[in-house]
Amino acid sequence: LNIIAKMQVIAKHLDEGVEFVSTDGIIIGRNVEIGQDTLILPGTILRGNTVIGEGCVLGPNTLIENCKIGNGVILNSVQAYDSRVCDHVKAGPFVQLRPGTVLHDGVKIGDFVEVKNSEIGVNTAVAHLTYVGDSDVGKGVNFGCGCVTANYDGINKYRTKIGDYAFIGCNTNLIAPVEIGENATTAAGSTITKSVPPDSLAVERAQTKIIDHWEKNFKRKKKA
């Protein structure tokens, strides 16, 4: 009976112009709405009160629950819950969108990124290996690899605000509450604990120390 019910739902969406390469592993709830010319790839699960726009590509291996997805969206190996994804967003693979996430038009979310309770502005790029939590991010922002918004001190959670066109360098830790101004840059490897004014560069690094001939001395001590 479950297989029959599943195929009835899929047949309904086929009649409405939704495309399926294969029905393997596809589960679609009865309350889900899907726009025409959207392609559903194997391993995709759509459930709850989810609404999908037109011309999207979902999957493979994507789970969407209680989300509103715009037009022309590509979600590859994404898990999304109680979130809103606007038009022409690309996300994946291996992305998690937790409740309260809003991705505005043209946002790009790359591999191994988690977004939680955050609003990300138009054309912002969060390319890879990044956590954005409890944050308000402007438009045209670029996150380098390995950035973290440190939002929790063990008791309370705090917000991070990032202005339009800011550049967040690789391996930046933003210790909330903190604000990064418009067009500001954080240097790679920095831990930012206070707000950065617009158009400024914030650098916070330990000074590099070079110890000459360390390898020889180290091996000599090990042999002794």
| Cβ-contact 116, 136 below 8 angstroms | no
Q: Which long-range contacts (CB under 8 A, 24 or more apart) does 136-141 make?
A: 136/160, 136/161, 136/162, 137/162, 138/162, 138/163, 138/164, 138/165, 138/166, 138/182, 139/104, 139/164, 139/165, 140/164, 140/165, 141/165, 141/166, 141/167, 141/168
Q: What SS3 state is found at 193?
A: coil
State the Rg of the chain over Cα: 22
DSSP 72: S
CA distance 178 to 182: 13
Pair 62, 81: CB distance under 8 Å: no
Catalytic-labelled residue, pool 13, 88, 128, 213: 128
> Any idea which residue has 């360390």 for tokens?
214
Phi, psi dihedral angles at 103 (to 5 degrees): -110, 115
Is 128 among the catalytic positions? yes
Q: Which residues are catalytic?
A: 128
